[in-house]
Amino acid sequence: MSTATTSSASAATGNRWLILAGGVLVQLTIGAVYAWSTFSKAIQGDASAIELSKVQATIPFEVAIGMLFLGTFLGGRIQDKRGPRLVALAGVVIYSIGIMLASLTREASDLWLLILGYGVLGGFGLGLAYIVPIAMLQKWFPDKRGLITGIAVGGFGFGAVITSPLAQRMIDGMAGYDVHPTKAFLWLGVAYLVFGLIGASVFKNPPAGYVAPGVAAAEAKHDTKKQEQAKKAARDFTQQEALSTPQWYMLTLILTISVTAGISLISVAAGTATDVAGMSAAAAATLVGVMGLFNGGGRILWAAVSDKIGRMPAFMGILGLQGLALLAIPHIGNAAAFYVLCAIVYTCYGGAFGTLPATAGDFFGVKNSGGIYGLMLIGWSIGGIIGPLLISWLIGEDQAYTMAFTVMGIIALAGLVIPFIAKPPKHA
């Protein structure tokens, strides 16, 4: 390694931890989208003037998850060419404006405002902001791709931990908010804007010739494992080359199946907690917030586990445990067991998001990871539409929770075949 390269690496070393902190802050902000079931429950409450059916109350969340793919697709491509900061700042602004627009909803005829604000604008801005730290941080931490991307997207999972109980307190404690729960979106949107802009303002790609301190240390110690990780990061596919491989579609399908299964519970978590486990509305809102810890923690946990046992064995654990827990949920009538099963599903659901970015980096390199992984997130959008719609339809007005969760569990278990056969491209 040349003196100039070493100097560049040293100068950038301190910056990468600040950039990681900024990435987590942005992900916390946009991860609040997972608190939707708290709002959905409140909107359908007896006091609410916004009289929506179970299916109607699912639509804004579905649209948000559907729109995020457009954001990740465009954001990934623009970031690869123009850098991360501009894309992240734009994403935070659009997302926050969408949430604030949703606060104007007052009755059922205003459903279009929820769909436009929370769904279309919120989902698109979410996608723009989400893809940036994932792609950027793999370049700063080529020696710790699994763990670092797990930490970054872990922030996304933790977003609901803060937002769900806070939103419930606003709905219960502020005058008129039980009648119009969407009023809380105004204050939340302002908070998202402030904190999201602070986090995104520190984003930047590493300088030319950058070598991560961990890789430099591995070279000095002849650590072949970390050197091999660095070599993998240098083997870069173009987006077109990645799309020409069956492996890209296999990884995308793994994400689609995991999202379909996991987000089905997330979208109805508050209602399921009251109807199946007998919790109060406040306890259900607390559960949604606590489960955000497992969603976020699962992203870090499974990403770190995948660094140890391999990416495909990790995905087999993620899908298998998720499927078994979903099958068991409708047969549990007490809060403690319900918490445990939900924790398993949320941990595994988050784990797929924590593990997939590093897997894509292993398979296709990190130079064009924004565009390549951004396209994979179509699986998030597909699963985000199918999962909530399917489970709400299966539950229906008859409260058919057993049928609904059995179907979702089988979907997750059927997906086990994909990581079993998926292998890295031979020319990677």
pLDDT, position 316? 97
Query: Does 428 map to a domain?
Result: no
Residue 403, pLDDT > 50, answer yes
* Of the ranges 8-12, 112-116, 178-182, 379-383, the best mean pLDDT one: 112-116
Q: How far apart are the first and last CA of the chain?
A: 24
Which of 402 and 398 is assigned the larger pLDDT?
402
Q: What is the CATH number of the domain that holds 31?
A: 1.20.1250.20
pLDDT band at residue 142 under the 50/70/90 scheme: confident
pLDDT band at residue 12 under the 50/70/90 scheme: very low
Which residues lie closer than 8 Å to 374 by C-beta, 6 or more apart? 72, 73, 75, 76, 77, 131, 135
Which of 271 and 255 is assigned the larger pLDDT?
255
Yes or no: say if 316 and 302 are a contact pair by the CB < 8 Å rule: no
Which residues lie closer than 8 Å to 92 by C-beta, 6 or more apart? 26, 29, 30, 125, 129, 192, 193, 196, 197, 199, 200
Separation of alpha carbons 327 and 49, rounded Å = 35
Which residues lie closer than 8 Å to 228 by C-beta, 6 or more apart? none
pLDDT band at residue 95 under the 50/70/90 scheme: very high
Of 5-19, 78-92, 287-301, 310-324, the poorest mean pLDDT is in 5-19
Residue 382, pLDDT > 50, answer yes
pLDDT, position 347? 95
Residue 11: CA atoms inside 13 Å, Cβ hemisphere, count?
11
Separation of alpha carbons 337 and 356, rounded Å = 29
Residue 330 structural domain: 3-421
Residue 8, pLDDT > 80, answer no
Q: What percent of the chain has pLDDT over 90?
A: 37
pLDDT, position 300? 87
* Of the ranges 42-46, 114-118, 169-173, 282-286, the best mean pLDDT one: 114-118
Residue 256, pLDDT > 50, answer yes
For 202-233, how does the pLDDT look when each residue is reduced to its tens digit (9 = 90+)?
Answer: 999 888 777 767 555 555 555 555 555 545 54
pLDDT band at residue 201 under the 50/70/90 scheme: very high
Phi-psi category of 241—alpha, beta or left, where left has phi over 0 and alpha has psi -120 to 50? Answer: alpha
Q: How many domains does the chain have?
A: 1
Q: Token pair for residue 117?
A: 């604000």
pLDDT band at residue 168 under the 50/70/90 scheme: confident
Helix H, strand E, coil C: the string for 215-275 is: HHHHHHHCCHHHHHHHHHHHCCCCHHHHHCCHHHHHHHHHHHHHHHHHHHHHHCHHHHHHH
Give the residue from 387, 415, 408, 349 showing the smallest Cα distance to 66: 387
Separation of alpha carbons 57 and 44, rounded Å = 8
* Of the ranges 83-97, 222-236, 364-378, 385-399, the best mean pLDDT one: 83-97
pLDDT (average), residues 180-201: 92
pLDDT, position 126? 93
Amino acid at 83: G
pLDDT (average), residues 60-77: 86
Mapped onto helix, strand or coil, the DSSP state of residue 53 is: coil
Query: Does 426 map to a domain?
Result: no
Q: How many CB atoms lie within 10 A of CB 170?
A: 18
* Of the ranges 46-50, 241-245, 247-251, the best mean pLDDT one: 247-251
pLDDT, position 223? 55
Query: Does 81 map to a domain?
Result: yes
Helix H, strand E, coil C: the string for 167-221 is: HHHHHHHCCCCCCCHHHHHHHHHHHHHHHHHHHHCCCCCCCCCCCCHHHHHHHHH
Q: What percent of the chain has pLDDT over 70?
A: 91
Query: Does 427 map to a domain?
Result: no
How far CA 47 is from CA of 43, 118, 167, 177, in Å, comes to 9, 22, 16, 10
pLDDT, position 217? 57
Residue 189, pLDDT > 90, answer yes
Residue 248, pLDDT > 90, answer yes
Q: How many CB atoms lie within 10 A of CB 85?
A: 18
For 307-342, how does the pLDDT look when each residue is reduced to its tens digit (9 = 90+)?
Answer: 889 999 999 999 999 999 999 999 987 889 999 999
pLDDT, position 225? 56
Q: Kindly state the DSSP code that residue 238 receives in the 8-state scheme.
A: P
**Mean of pLDDT over the chain:** 85
pLDDT, position 5? 44
pLDDT, position 6? 45
Query: Does 341 map to a domain?
Result: yes
* Of the ranges 95-99, 150-154, 357-361, 376-380, the best mean pLDDT one: 95-99
Query: Does 50 map to a domain?
Result: yes
Separation of alpha carbons 299 and 296, rounded Å = 5
